Amino acid sequence: MPDRTALHEKRGIDRIEDPLLNKDTAFTEAERRKWGLLGLLPPHIDTLEEQAERAYDAFSVKDSLLEKHIFLRQLQDENETLFYRLLLDHVEEMMPIVYTPVVGQACQEFSHIYRRPRGIFLAYPHRDILDDILAEVERDIDVIVVTDGERILGLGDQGAGGMGIPIGKLSLYSLCGGIHPTQTLPVLLDLGTNNKERLEDPRYIGWRHERIKGEEYDAFIDAFVTAVKKRFPDVLLQWEDFASVDAERILAKYRNSLCTFNDDIQGTAAVTTGTILAAIAAAGGKLEDQRIVMLGAGSAGIGITDQLVATMVRHGLGEADAHARFYVLDIDGLLHDGRTDLDEVHRPHAQSLKNLAGWDCDLTKPIGLADVVRNARPTVLVGVTGQAGAFTEEVVREMARNADRPIFFPLSNPTSRAEATPTDLLNWTDGKAVIATGSPFDPVVFGGKTHVIAQCNNSYIFPAMGTAILASGARRVTDNMFMSAAEALRDKSPALKDVNDSLLPALKDIREVSRHIALAVARQAQDDGVADPTTREELERRVDETMWTPEYD
């Protein structure tokens, strides 16, 4: 556990107004005398449990999901310990409020619901003083989540409103992985926005300028990384919600020079891989026998495909054989080697036209999803398009004709962007579909059976990655670490015992699951030589010490 005594010895109202120090009505009589709080608080002394009950009462009377989100954000800004205790007590109810899907609306409304500062805004006009800005951070930081706000969930460019994502992500680092909130820092790189609605909004709090791109963009990112390495040389830096064209370049450029990963690429790939492995096992199949369609060729789609290919290779397939089992589509249809418009990222995932010989469609024209499903007869369909309804009834019924247990993963979020709803998928497949989604959906009753719908949420992966990295002292993040996270997640699937049960563990068990995954990842970091070796017992002790429980000191 980090030494937090370096926090200012604040007194009086200054102590109450610091969310990392505030206990509010739970300050003891002795603490009130020591810190000059007598008279500033009502005389009754609450327990943390009593405070959490009062907070839940206030939360429950809020009329809308956004109002509930605002209430929780305000509580976080007032009393971090109480905030996390409340979330832990009601994790299944509140995680969708503090993060997806409600955080999407919160990002859109960020300038209107803004109350007090949290994190660091690094704006392009201040590009020459990034060192000075980060030097003003008063505490050492172990985990940074950063976004430039250009591709927020499925909502596109939200500019400064994208700060809601790092704030929400780091809340889950603490909630699920036990990373103490004093160790975390959300960062927004404000390079402008091309969202006209934001620029024309008189309440917009970001830099009012069209988005900076090209060489100037790259130089700013480089200056940011340099400043981070100087101020926080051992930090874990997570990139979040960057445009695909930038996300992949940034990760490739910096992954070998500091401890860093991109959650949209690697975290999404790991949680999807783990959940698909669980779905295949629950349906009685083997990964190497699957034919997988990936609808969407952005950073998430390519990241998932890369990891699934690597997993097939790990299971004994040759790389060419593994690639032949994947059909990746972008906005112009199936990627294949007859197309001349593919970039370096997409070419490795292009199907050979030789493999498509005999297909019942015109191979000289764009090959759409319906053509792919009819000819390839896939067993797994994953959607990362942000396009609601992209899994049409025709496509779904065709898959169900050719697979005993077709697997569908409509992963786009928020809920309004899902490629299909679980209800439709079960209706169109006569109850055969095995489903995970990107946003939360209620269980569906079909044919007298209740199908529990797993939310394929990165919160099962990235908080555990953070815990593992901090506990093991990992200096880099390897692909094998994400592979081990995926396999550890699969092992916790309730669907392995009942195919109609959730493919993922219940959120109420998220701390236990995070610990299980963190141990697997930490051991892999040691095996990969990026963390110092220890005994298994010592590693478990370090993981347990890293996982903070929200209690007053």
Binding-site residue positions for a divalent metal cation: 240-241, 264
Active site annotation includes 213:
no
Q: Which one of 99, 204, 254, 327 is the catalytic residue?
A: 99
Which residues are known binding-site members for (S)-malate?
A: 151, 413, 457
Active site annotation includes 492:
no
Q: How far apart are CA 410 and CA 417, in angstroms?
A: 9
3-state SS assignment for residue 411: coil
Q: Cα 253 to chain center, whole Å?
A: 21
Q: How far apart are CA 458 and CA 172, in angstroms?
A: 10
Sign of the Cα pseudo-torsion (143, 458, 539, 542, in order): positive
Distances (CA, A) of 54 to 57, 71, 82, 83: 5, 13, 11, 12
CB 185 within 8 A of CB 237: no
Outline where 259-379 has alpha helix (H).
268-282, 299-314, 319-324, 369-376
CB 176 within 8 A of CB 463: yes
Q: How far apart are CA 59 and CA 106, in angstroms?
A: 16
Q: Any residues with CB less than 8 A from the CB of 169 and at least 6 apart, and which?
A: 99, 145, 186, 238, 240, 263, 462
Stated as kind and residue range, the H or E segment containing 387 is none
| DSSP string over 14-62 | HHHT-TTT--GGG--HHHHHHTT-TTTS-S----HHHHHHHHHHHHHT-
| Strand extents, DSSP E, 425-512 | 434-437, 444-446, 449-451, 454-455
| Strand extents, DSSP E, 141-199 | 143-147, 184-190
Q: Any residues with CB less than 8 A from the CB of 221 and at least 6 apart, and which?
A: 189, 246, 250
Q: Which residues have a catalytic role annotated?
A: 99, 169
